[in-house]
Structure 1
């Protein structure tokens, strides 16, 4: 097979060591090419059918549910992939011989981790955690991380063979013993778990224990390093997103509300800010009015308005969800009504950020107009002055969900009596508007 155009391009990028060779067509031997991708094989493996493929290509084929050899259509007796070291060395030698044409030597691939190896190391993690052998457990967890860093295939194998449950159980054991004494291994376990989410029910039970939750809150409060904070808040986000019952357990931990608000206000990193807002969203979405009141008393309503006004899309969307949740309680509505930014910012975000952001904005405005008792009618007048009526009509016209349509219609009815001489249209909001719902 001749891949002349590809090699000429590679030669130009190879530093022009041999400019005279730039127009030479380089022929790759057919047996060096994967029968599936038709690319040079990086990690050739042979199946039970006797045909050799590149490991990545054949794994993708098998994971798609295929049971036959793609080249021969022969049903495979097993799915074993035997590394073809002889062919791989031949390919590497060919690459070295042709490096003047811009061909790079293919590195020797690492042997993928096997399910048996994963099971053995998980057993070791559990055993060392039961005995509180911190150094041994730390060593095993770091090995799991190294495996995961090598390839996406390793990560899938690690997750599929129960690593998340083993690590979560170890985390719970060390957290129950002493966070201060075991903080190093606890940090490492959280780091390893970070790329295993979503985790199974068994792992959730261990990681959602009171001792584990207290440990993660301790990292949020005490750690001066960003990574443990980030891993902890991401773990909390994943847990409360999967199990609303954990919200009540988390809210009982002393100082959690203050910590979350501080993380949002400081904006240490985008990942921490997003995860913190999601955790707060699930907390204010609960039926516990005390949780909402606690955030309102900390002045979080004003902080949210600033974030909604100036943040990028994903953070703005999440912040609007929290704001809408706080406006569902009396104290939150009163705090929002007393802030001059509230109505202009909420109306501005309708049809500006995303469908979900529009839903949150409309719901929050309706809560302020329908249930607010301070300065009755003032919010409605202010909403009209910044163009709310036209935006709500447009939301209904371009399409929205039934619940959003119902809320928008109800809000239009509330606004209608105040319309005379008060409407304002911002043309920039409707310019080049595309149907996005």
Structure 2
């Protein structure tokens, strides 16, 4: 998601969304297939353990999360705590990132691990559902703080200073903060929104406490000012994102029309970071099924498609993840296809851009006949067969074969195109022998039709 300020909230929320989606896919495969593998069940169990780990971390203090409650600095600079070291290199992490498994590594070393062809987590040895890396801003912030102050003594009170400040704000300043959010003064409102952004990012208890006050964020005057002041808009969008991580808030925000429309409008704002936060907020909100319908009907799909087409690194991943989440609802698939998603996604696949995410969405959309027709017109058959011959992950091969299978059963003319390639390269025959259980089944289904 690449958020500059929303340290611990966004990466965990995104990781949870990604893992839940992968868990659903794995469970469906296990339920549907008689010959499911032990690896498939291990993968599903690994995701469940990772989700449990994230859930536990969500209710812990940052200091408890990193095992720092009893940690203090001595006059002699101590060695880095184990939690600050990369599991691969054993060295102090400079750019900590979160892998799909939920584990944190130094970016340089995990990138090398992935480039060497590994498709598993170095720590758990579980197959990765994807290879996206999310910056772990919280860990980086605490490592930076440790590095600067490692020669100074730090009392327990100082260690817990941030959290004490948050609790103090919750208990003693909450009412005053709400009044300032409704202030007639623009400067007061700006400061109040910025403070709300900081507190909603730091403290789960603050996010829970804010539940009844959510309507204040979508006051007509405040929203109009946010449309006039770029910095106010950025802070307000980030605040919505932070608050939406809390389950009850997610429902309330989703059922507030002005909130959804504000986020959708922000997808076209000037600052790329603000657009990225807006896409991330819609992604988090869409994890609630009832919100998927609301967001789709409100017109979010087209600007999200536009963000994918634009292709900026800070927005394209969140936009793709949001569309994928929204398209688990049938009506949103129809909207996505009607609004041009197939063309945009297929071109990204052909350009070798975020293939994992694009294939995920196409695999869902191709259940719609119009999508199959567009894929055929765009030359997707040859493109997908080319991918199958490349050194890509088994999951991506599975997605390609699944899309080809759907295309063949929806449009028999595509069988002739596949037959011409298969006769020369035996692409599907290879997948039928070496692919995942589902990929083998789909490949054999196509080969039977060819024969």
Query: Shorter-chain-normalised TM-score: which range?
Result: 0.5 to 0.7
SS, match of residue 162 in structure 1: helix
The structure whose RCO (Cα within 8 Å, separation 6+) is larger is 2
Gaps of 5+ in 2: 1-67, 85-147
1:217 is matched with which residue?
A: 264
Alpha-carbon distance in 2 for matches of 1:175, 1:334: 47
In the TM superposition, residue 410 of structure 1 has moved relative to its aligned partner by 4.3
Gaps of 5+ in 1: 1-33, 43-53, 58-94, 97-102, 149-154, 420-437
Report 1:177-196 matches (<5 A): 178=224, 180=227, 185-194=232-241
Report 1:228-267 matches (<5 A): 228-240=274-286, 242-254=287-299, 256-267=300-311
Alpha-carbon distance in 1 for matches of 2:208, 2:434: 50
Alpha-carbon distance in 2 for matches of 1:380, 1:159: 60
**Large movers: runs of 4+ above 6 Å:** none
Q: 2:247 matched to 1:200?
A: yes
Once the two structures are superposed, residues 214-242 of structure 1 have per-residue CA deviations (whole angstroms, 9 ceiling, x without a partner) of: 00111112x211122111111011111x1
Q: 2:423 matched to 1:391?
A: no
1:274 is matched with which residue?
A: 317
1:7 is matched with which residue?
A: none
Alpha-carbon distance in 2 for matches of 1:281, 1:350: 26
Alpha-carbon distance in 1 for matches of 2:370, 2:69: 67
Q: 2:364 matched to 1:348?
A: no
Is the CA contact (8 Å cut-off) linking 2:419 and 2:450 kept in structure 1? yes
Alpha-carbon distance in 1 for matches of 2:250, 2:75: 38
In the TM superposition, residue 272 of structure 1 has moved relative to its aligned partner by 0.7
Report 1:22-61 matches (<5 A): 37=71, 39-40=73-74
In structure 2, which of residues 332, 348, 360 is the aligned counterpart of residue 321 of structure 1?
Answer: 360
Once the two structures are superposed, residues 283-319 of structure 1 have per-residue CA deviations (whole angstroms, 9 ceiling, x without a partner) of: 333211xx4444435543233223224445xx32111
Alpha-carbon distance in 1 for matches of 2:413, 2:199: 60
More helix by share: 2
Alpha-carbon distance in 1 for matches of 2:222, 2:370: 38
Alpha-carbon distance in 1 for matches of 2:374, 2:213: 43
In the TM superposition, residue 208 of structure 1 has moved relative to its aligned partner by 4.5
In the TM superposition, residue 144 of structure 1 has moved relative to its aligned partner by 4.4
SS, match of residue 276 in structure 2: helix
In the TM superposition, residue 190 of structure 1 has moved relative to its aligned partner by 2.0
In structure 2, which of residues 163, 170, 175 is the aligned counterpart of residue 118 of structure 1?
Answer: 170
In the TM superposition, residue 243 of structure 1 has moved relative to its aligned partner by 1.4
Alpha-carbon distance in 2 for matches of 1:119, 1:207: 27
In the TM superposition, residue 374 of structure 1 has moved relative to its aligned partner by 3.9
Q: TM-score w.r.t. structure 2 length?
A: 0.57
Is the CA contact (8 Å cut-off) linking 1:175 and 1:186 kept in structure 2? no
Is the CA contact (8 Å cut-off) linking 1:119 and 1:161 kept in structure 2? no
In the TM superposition, residue 169 of structure 1 has moved relative to its aligned partner by 3.6
Against the structure 1 CA distance between its residues 172 and 36, is the aligned structure 2 distance closer, same or farther, given a 3 Å change threshold? closer
